[in-house]
Amino acid sequence: MKKLLPAIFVLSAFLSDAQITITSSNMPSLGDSARVSLPNILSLLDASNTDYQTTGSNYFWDFTNMNTNEQTVRQFIAPPGLFSFYFFPPRFGEKVLDSVPLPAIPVGSLTLVIKDVHNFYKKNSTTSYNNVGTGMMVSGIPLGATAQAGDEDELYKFPLNYGDRDSTTFSFATPTTTLIPFKYKKHGYRITEVDGWGYVSTPYGTEPCIRVVSTQYATDSIIITNPPFSLPFPNVVRTYQWLTLGEKVPYFEVNGSMFGSTFTPTEVRYRDKARSFVGIKENENQQLAVAIYPNPAVNELNFVVAKSKELNIEIYSASGQSVIKKSISNTEVMNKHSIDISKLAQGLYSGSLSDGETVQNFKFIKQ
């Protein structure tokens, strides 16, 4: 214990003058990229890590004991392809989802399929960093859900300092046209608060930071014109972010869903360097399941799989215990499979789908 005292004393000296201010220059721009690691959510529960929900002034958050075997690169690019019709410069974006798990919904001669989802951003001079809309391929058609009447989602207002709190409304929608028999709409509001400052430590390093909590209260709607059909669903999400001066993206962040006053984490990621992982690979370009739905789920979890071979599914509780194991034999005729989850307790679960060469990880919430 005595050997730790000098380190604690030095750290305290650093913390005494660690308040920083985040401005537009600390946000991503067109052409920026950043590698991030995606640790297991169970790492958040490790007793050696700081409780991610605690905060305050002159605070030290320690997340150095994070268990990860996956990385990705966030790339901020010009609007690709026909997305540039909706989001022209100086707007830029990043891909956030390969596909959206949806039940089979017929739309005339088409089946509703949503892929290649991008978020698009704009630096509003030096005053704010805005989400200006979402681009997606809907049943093969490129669509942009753009801000209606300029009602953009202001992710951050600058300068960003400890104690700041603000709210913003937003409204996005795809075009209304008889040529496209469906429409996507999203509207709601966001509350953002800077509720802490100090230092944050991860396997990547230690940096002065501010802690930002942002909660989005939204309703997403899919509207089909013929036959008339509307599928609205609430979407309340929260993110805890630790922002630093030099990394452009959050140094550490926890994303998840809100159910009433209960927050359930669904993703953890932090800025990192390239690392090597040993074992079965997770290939982002080879999705074993093209859809896993619904999420949240009540009685059944459905898998629409792409490979004509035997696959193994395993589901784990939040404590890491294996609760369901099942093998499925997929053919070109039978490519949809269901797992009975009705006996599982409510909460967050993780799982894996493997063919012995590739593993696809997933998460879902049991209601």
* Per-residue pLDDT tens over the stretch 173-206: 999 877 777 888 999 999 999 999 999 999 999 9
Whether 151 is covered by a domain: the verdict is yes
Whether 10 is covered by a domain: the verdict is no
How far is the C-alpha of 186 from the C-alpha of 172, rounded, in Å?
5
Domain holding 48, by residue range, is 19-271
User: Nearest 10 degrees: CA dihedral of 263, 360, 249, 29?
Assistant: -130
Q: pTM score > 0.75 for this model? A: no
Both 265 and 305 in a single domain?
no
% of the chain exceeding 90 in pLDDT = 49
Both 260 and 342 in a single domain?
no
Both 168 and 303 in a single domain?
no
Q: Is 43 exposed, middle or buried (0-12, 13-18, 19+ CB in 10 A)?
A: middle
Q: Give residue-wise pLDDT tens across range 19-76.
A: 999 999 999 999 999 999 999 888 888 888 999 999 999 999 999 988 887 899 999 9
Both 242 and 216 in a single domain?
yes
Q: Give residue-wise pLDDT tens across range 228-240.
A: 777 788 889 999 9
Whether 300 is covered by a domain: the verdict is yes
Both 53 and 195 in a single domain?
yes
Tracing tokens 């003058």 back to the chain, one arrives at: 17
How far is the C-alpha of 59 from the C-alpha of 200, rounded, in Å?
8
Whether 283 is covered by a domain: the verdict is no
What pLDDT is recorded for position 158? 96
Both 241 and 294 in a single domain?
no
Both 293 and 176 in a single domain?
no
% of the chain exceeding 70 in pLDDT = 85
Both 248 and 296 in a single domain?
no
Both 261 and 295 in a single domain?
no
What pLDDT is recorded for position 103? 60
Determine contact, residues 209/238, Cβ cutoff 8 Å.
no
Contacts of 301 (CB under 8 A, 6+ apart): 292, 293, 294, 315, 338, 339, 341, 364
Cβ atoms within 10 Å of 310's Cβ, excluding its own: 11
Per the structure, how many domains does the chain have? 2
What CATH number did the domain enclosing 325 receive?
A: 2.60.40.1930
Decide the pairing of beta strands 182-202 and 59-62: parallel
Both 125 and 53 in a single domain?
yes
Q: 306 phi and psi, to 5 degrees? A: -105, -20
